[in-house]
Amino acid sequence: MKSAVYFPAVLLIALVGLAVLTADGLQSNEAAAQPRNRFEETIVESGTIESANVLQIVSEVPGESVILRLIPDGTTVKKGDLLVQLDDSELRENHAVLQIQAKTAEDGLTAAETRLEAAKQRKTTEVAIAEQKVRVAELARKRLLDEGGELDHRLSTIERTMTLTEQQLAASKETGASAELRELQAQLETARGEKRLLQDFIRPHEAAVHELEIKTAQRELEQTQQNSQSAVVEAVATVAAGMQEVDSVRQELRRIEQSIAACQIVAPRDGVVMHANPPSRRTNASVLEEGATVRERQPLLAMPDFDQLQARILVHESQIDRVKVGQSASLQLGAFPGRKIAGRVAGISRTPRSQSWINPGVVEYAVIIEIPDPPDGMGIGLTVAAEIDTGAVEER
């Protein structure tokens, strides 16, 4: 009897459990079929309005300079207006000294060029004279020793005298005049002696003398060519050194003249001039004012373009990875209450901003938001709240 009652009870419990499981399964399937809620996620950060096109004006004077005159911060200027006058007194003193050095160098160069021309002329003249001496020596030898020359002419004269004397001697022998024979015999011996002297002594001696004169003249020619060429080379080197000195002084003069010109800084365009570091800004850098010392390449002034504006906001390091270039942004300014201005993320800094002494542990990155259509009246330095649309996120 107990077994009969127990079995229906177990069956009833099993049916109830199956019904509960089936209901839960249906509810789970219905929940899975329904879509999740989605919402747009944004980042809201604050920043300031700045110019997207700022012309920086820096000192172009080498070393350090003292400001004698400085245009007030925020002045509206025209192109060519004087903005900054730096002290150029020392530069002008150096310029005067260099002018004297340049004049001295130029005079030295002129003198060196004159000496060079004189050396070239001496070379031409002296070499020509030395060449002529060689030619004269060669002609003298030819006149005396060559065939048909003076010695040949003297020899021919002696030989004719000998022939005539021999003929006279033969005729005298037939007549038998002894005194005449002895005189003619003496004349013949004298002529033979002159011929022997001419052939054996005078000709060799004259040949040696003229050969020596030719070699001496040739040696003098070579020495003259070497000496005159050395003088020209030395003069050329002096001219080159003078030209280098003149160029060096002139370059230094041009550099100082450029520095003097750079002491007067004028406006490159129409616009508003802002000091790079006015007294009103809290900074560790030296204040830009009259009497202050500035260094080369130090920023002095800035001329922002008020027609091209952008917003610079600071995003915390925990949110920066959600910001992408091209994302849309909505800007709100206190100067335009209730008005939203469209913008777009144009740039993201890869390095964090220097930490503030107020919040040393906060790491923030600069994000640039371009403003395609800035409203009239929007100015530089206005505070802005930027809402960046980082995309849709599903609710979990």
- Same domain? For 121 and 255 the reply is yes
* Structure tokens belonging to residue 172: 């005298």
- Same domain? For 30 and 136 the reply is no
**Rounded mean pLDDT of 291-303?**
94
Q: Give 61's DSSP letter.
A: S
Q: What is the pTM of this model?
A: 0.64
Are the C-beta atoms of residues 73 and 278 closer than 8 Å to each other? yes
The answer, yes or no, to whether residue 396 has pLDDT greater than 60, is no
- Same domain? For 292 and 346 the reply is no
Of 14-28, 160-174, 253-267, 319-333, the poorest mean pLDDT is in 14-28
Angle subtended by helix axes 89-145 and 203-262, to nearest 10: 170
Q: What is the CATH number of the domain that holds 329?
A: 2.40.30.170
Q: In the prediction, which pLDDT does 47 show?
A: 93
Note down the domain range covering 358.
38-53+305-396
The answer, yes or no, to whether residue 226 has pLDDT greater than 50, is yes
Q: Which of 285, 302, 319 is the last residue of a domain?
A: 302
Q: In the prediction, which pLDDT does 392 show?
A: 53
User: CA–CA separation, 40 vs 395, rounded Å?
Assistant: 10
Q: Which amino acid is at 111?
A: A
277-280 contacts, C-beta under 8 A, 24 or more apart: 278/73, 280/73
The answer, yes or no, to whether residue 176 has pLDDT greater than 70, is no
- Same domain? For 330 and 252 the reply is no
- Same domain? For 109 and 242 the reply is yes
- Same domain? For 226 and 297 the reply is no
Of 183-187, 242-246, 253-257, 323-327, the poorest mean pLDDT is in 183-187
Nearest to 291 by CA among 80, 57, 64, 62: 64
- Same domain? For 185 and 228 the reply is yes
Q: What are phi and psi of 154, to 5 degrees?
A: -65, -40
Under the banding of pLDDT at 50, 70 and 90, the label for residue 280 is: very low
Number of H helices, E strands in the chain: 5, 14
Nearest to 260 by CA among 102, 93, 101, 104: 93
pLDDT tens, residue by residue, 126-141: 999 999 999 999 999 9
pLDDT tens, residue by residue, 10-67: 333 434 343 433 344 434 444 444 444 444 588 999 999 999 999 999 999 999 999 9
Q: What are phi and psi of 313, to 5 degrees?
A: -120, 160
User: CA–CA separation, 331 vs 254, rounded Å?
Assistant: 52
- Same domain? For 178 and 284 the reply is no
Other residues' Cβ atoms within 10 Å of the Cβ of residue 51: 20
- Same domain? For 97 and 232 the reply is yes
How many domains is the chain partitioned into structurally? Answer: 4
pLDDT tens, residue by residue, 337-379: 888 999 999 999 999 987 666 667 789 999 999 999 888 888 8
- Same domain? For 314 and 381 the reply is yes
Q: Which of 262, 281, 313 is the last residue of a domain?
A: 262
Q: What is the CATH number of the domain that holds 295?
A: 2.40.50.100
pLDDT tens, residue by residue, 77-95: 999 999 999 999 999 999 9
- Same domain? For 198 and 342 the reply is no
Q: What's the mean per-residue pLDDT of the chain?
A: 86
- Same domain? For 247 and 184 the reply is yes
The answer, yes or no, to whether residue 312 has pLDDT greater than 90, is yes
Q: Which of 245, 262, 279 is the last residue of a domain?
A: 262
